[in-house]
Structure 1
Amino acid sequence: MIWIMILLFFLLMFFGVPIAFAMGASALMYIMVEGIPLSMVAQQFFSNSQSFAFLAIPFFILTGSLMVHGGIAQRIIKLADTMVRQLPGGLGCVSVVTSMGMAGVSGSSVADAASVGSVLIPEMKRKGYSSSFSAAINASSSVVGIIIPPSSTMIIIAWLANLSVAQMFLAGVIPGILIGVAFLFFTIFISIRRGYPREQRATFSEFVTSFRNAIWALILPIVLIYVIVFGVATATEAAALAAVYAFLVGTVVYRTLNFKKIVASLVDAVYGTAIVMFIVSTSTIFTWVLISESIPKMLGEMLLGLGIADWGLILLLVVIMLLAGMVIELVPNLFIFIPIFFPIAQTLGMDPLHFSIVMLCTLALGLFTPPVGSTLYISIHLAKIDMEDTIKDIMPFFLVGAVVVLLITYIPALTLWVPSIFM
């Protein structure tokens, strides 16, 4: 029955059923056929959502929403513009650097793709960039939004793997920057080959002005990481403080948040939280069934029994996650792979914190790959093109990201060095 459940899960996804409903329905089928009391469904559905750590998620989503509706994206875009617009493919470089800056503000790849892409994709098309390349840059660079802290996805991983949120945030700094820089250099390389335009170098006074306008947004991630790392506040408390900070910056400092925008921010936060927590809840039921049938243990023993060298088995885990990221959304993948792959990684001698970041970066690449890439869907909508038209431009970014993931996988210091300094 467990294999029928898994088959039903993939069949439902194949016919277009949303991933959260597919996981919940297949698990419910198993529970009913096996005669397990339905009260277990309700218990598993609500048990994990009652975690105090998960309370940080709506606050982080609200913070990002307040920042975006308060015009923070435009200020960060302007700052990035004064920094890198003189490079080959200047607007493409601005898109990548802006995504890296927005990562510390919104903590959401989807929000970054929407807010940055809505401004830069039309402008890039107007300046002669192809629609597919404009969409590819926006979709790929926005994935750093969940890798560079703060990140609500990191909170989910930390809770599932019983890790420190503070350590997770610190561990994501270098990998997130590495992926962003790799995309930046690749954008420059492609722009030189295609002859995309450079923009006029910004003056020093322009840079100072744009930096001064964006400084309140740039301070936020620094303060957040400081209070969490040094124990001033828990991740949940820091998230609540961040929401208050975003509200005050938008209403008092920038004066761009009016009543209508505040209501829109609250609505976005409600929708965003509901989506994330519904996926978490249905994934919990599915994972509970797998664990109760010892599927993670069985698969782990099977993989360890293949007789592959440690480095080869680690590579196999990464490849499996890369492929899974293309067809299943990120959060459900976490609930599936953490129980299965974490014991294997520990058996192979990998630090749990290191492997958690490897998993995050690997699955994040699926956000901009077909057929389910959320940032890709947003970007092609903004660029007004079909998904098929972006394949030739999106796959090179995927390959570049995969190379960086391998570097992060086989060089643990890239992940563990920053946490070792502060923790």
Structure 2
Amino acid sequence: MTASVDTSASPESYALPDELKAVQARSRLMLPIEVASAALMAAITLMLLAGVASRYLLAAPLVWVDEAVSIAFLWLAMLGSAVAIHRAEHLRLTVVLTALPQRLQGHVQAFGLMVTAAFLLALVRPAFEYVESEAFVTTPALEIPNSWRVAAIAFGIVAMLFVLLVHAWRTCSIAQLAVGTGLVAAIGAACWVLMPTLATLGHLNIVIFLIGFVTVSLLAGVPIAFCFGIGALSYLAFTSHVPVGVMIGRMDEGMSSLVLVSVPVFVLLGCVLDATGMGKAIIDFLASLIGHVKGGMSYVLLGSLFIVSGISGSKVSDMATVAPALFPEMKRRGQKPKEMIALLSTGAAMADTVPPSIVLIVLGSVAGVSIAGLFQAGVTVALVLLLALAVLARWKARSEDLLQVRRATLGTIGRTLLIAGPALVLPFLIRGAVGGGVATATEVSTLAVLYAMVIGMVMYGGIGLRKVYDMLVETAALSGAVLMILGTALAMAWVITQSGVAQQLALFMKNLPGGVAGFLAVTIVIFLVLGCVLEGLPALLLMAPLMFPIARALGVNDVHYAMVVVVAMNIGLMMPPIGVGFYIACRIGNVSPDEAMGAIWPYIVALIGGLIVIAAVPAISTAVL
């Protein structure tokens, strides 16, 4: 494998027998944080439900709910990020690390850990100073010091630093840690000594710190969130007179938008979907309906991704739900594993504009675009991509053997529809409620969790308390990893804006030949590359604050531009040899990336063709608004 993303594996899954006691000891240390994270996630969900019930049923809004949720949400993000470090669930690129000789991997890993530790250590003092400054601010509804909320940042940074150092001590030798620490210290000392020279370099510092430092950290296996952070922090510390404490304020702003509360709630919804088997019920119904035609199982796979994505909001959850249910039958019909992986990965890219896409929610928050508008446009955009992939899948299935395949009876179709019915209703409720302005994305997400839990208990066997706890902790870890990327990416984007590069970029982009068409073409190339290298969400968070003002100045509709950006980003995410989404699909389908790499390109070309149509015809995105 040339790249990997740690999305679901825990340290226990990799532990050798003689390491098990050490792993269990680390788990005991993390237990209080995990319990607190689970309790916060449950409290957020319950408070949101109480707020919705009070507003719509009693016509008596609970004015304190938003503030209480905001406080709990920031604590959830920071504690969840610490849990994600413990579980190795922070997104990172390991393309260089795994390609190195075994004797060098430990040294590079130790260097990456020390880079992360240096970033966190540098933020400890500013974080506590930020808490002190916010003690003078009183929240309007609860009338408590705002320091109660922002203390989460200081506590989370200390917790992450502690967990990281314990992990470094357990996994690296003293010599490796000494070399890594020495190298980080030498780089820092060199930058300090060269500060007078760096001050004269102007925009070249952007290349040195925001590109050079970030790239080196990325290749060393540093989680992407901390790559952005170390780049921005180094630039501020060594080339400007701006206090590094600004980083804390930017991170707070990036992680504190109430709109983003729907992210962990939709992640929890995806966990409920998996645990109850609601996704499997949808797949069984589609298979009974169209599984007997040529290319039928490919249609089922694409259709399942389209529908299931409208419930879970997560590509990883979508692929993990669909692949185990469909791959055995597809293999029996003669489809090659590499073709199945190609269709799975590009189908997941197609479905990421289907609401309630976490990417669309985050983009709406960062770029100031209507989430309801993004949800409405996302469905029609996904249909265009779905058509492109379905046409290619049908052509590839032209020689499929269907001699042993029988059409499902009407009774079978009716039975599977009866079982899948409650699950099928959910994505339409989500899209309709948000798109119609009946409820916000956050309100809908909590109602969807309640609906799924109740339906799961009534029709799909329910969920045990231990499973609920595991889902809450997993939601906290994944949300913490996502929100930490959001905080540091926005801090880095702020630094770029303050440097003046953003204004020069805007001027350059406005003067591109071809006007709007030229701008959209460059946008597609930029997000294809960044989506491939940085993973989708970080690329979006880094570039959206820079690119959307340029698009508006050129008269490009916000929703149309958002659709072009998101689709290009998702295609890049699935493009080998670097696109990390491709490797996630290979791992889920248990297929070698080397085997699947050649098969995916026709599907990538089909998606790019669909993207060109979407970019060239704005009405595809805007006609439904």
Question: TM-score band (shorter)?
Answer: over 0.9
List, as ranges, runs of 4+ consecutive aligned residues in structure 1 with deviation greater than 4 Å: none
Residue 579 (structure 2) pairs with residue 368 (structure 1): no
Deviation at 1:86? 1.7
Out of 402, 425, 431, which is 1:219 matched to? 425
Quick one: structure 1 residues 395 and 374, their matched pair in 2 at CA, closer, same or farther if it must change by over 3 Å?
same
**What code does the residue aligned with 1:345 have?**
A
* 1:8-407 equivalent positions in 2, closer than 5 A: 8-34=213-239, 35-192=241-398, 195=400, 197=402, 199-407=405-613
Cα distance in structure 2, aligned partners of 1:376 and 1:154: 21
TM-score normalised per structure 1? 0.93
Q: Which amino acid aligns with 1:21?
A: F
Contact 1:178/1:404 (<8 A) preserved: yes
Query: Is 2:202 aligned against 1:7?
Result: no
The alpha carbon displacement at 1:397 in A equals 0.8
Residues 255-293 of structure 1: CA distance to partner in whole angstroms, max 9, x if unpaired? 242223322322321122112111111111111111111
* Letter in structure 2 aligned against 1:24: G
How far, CA to CA, are the matches of 1:59 and 1:146 in structure 2?
Answer: 17
Q: Is the 8 A contact 2:333 2:400 kept in 1?
A: no
Percent identity at matched positions? 28
Conserved? CA contact 1:31–1:37, under 8 Å: yes
CA shift in 2, pair 1:22/1:196, >3 Å: farther
User: What is the deviation of 1:381?
Assistant: 1.6
SS at match of 2:614: helix
Offset at 1:8? 1.8
State whether residues 53 and 159 of structure 1, in contact with CA within 8 Å, keep that contact through their aligned partners in structure 2.
yes
Conserved? CA contact 2:319–2:588, under 8 Å? no
Q: Residue 33 of structure 1: CA displacement?
A: 0.7
Deviation at 1:309, TM superposition (A): 4.0
Could you tell me whether the CA contact under 8 Å between 2:377 and 2:621 is conserved in 1?
yes
Asked whether the equivalents of residues 369 and 559 of structure 2 are also in contact (C-alpha less than 8 Å), the reply is yes
Q: CA deviation at 1:414?
A: 0.8
Q: TM-score, normalised by structure 2?
A: 0.64
Contact 1:90 1:197 in 2 (8 A): no
Shift of 1:359: 0.8
1:372, CA displacement in angstroms? Answer: 4.3
- Does the CA-based 8 Å contact 2:274-2:321 persist in structure 1? yes
Distance 1:276 1:51 in 2: 14
**Larger gyration radius, structure 1 or structure 2:** 2
Amino acid at match of 1:25: I
Identify the range of structure 1 (138-147 vs 76-85) with the bigger mean alpha-carbon deviation.
138-147
- Runs of at least 5 residues in structure 2 that lack an aligned partner in the other structure: 1-204
Q: Give the AA of the match of 1:3.
A: V
Q: Which range moved further: 149-158 or 225-234?
A: 225-234
Q: Distance in 2 between matches of 1:306 and 1:72?
A: 49
Distance between the aligned counterparts of 1:184 and 1:307, measured in 2? 35
Q: CA deviation at 1:196?
A: 5.4
Q: Is the 8 A contact 1:41 1:285 kept in 2?
A: yes
Counterpart CA distance in 1 for 2:512 and 2:573 is 30
**Post-superposition shift, 1:128?**
2.8
Name the structure, 1 or 2, with higher relative contact order (CA <8 Å, separation 6+): 1
Asked if 1 retains the 8 angstrom alpha-carbon contact of 2:490 and 2:542, the reply is no
Deviations 1:368-409 (A, max 9, x none): 222443432222123333222212211111110011111111
Q: What do the CA deviations read for 1:311-355 (whole angstroms, capped 9, x no partner)?
A: 233212212222222112111111222122222322332111110
Amino acid at match of 1:268: E
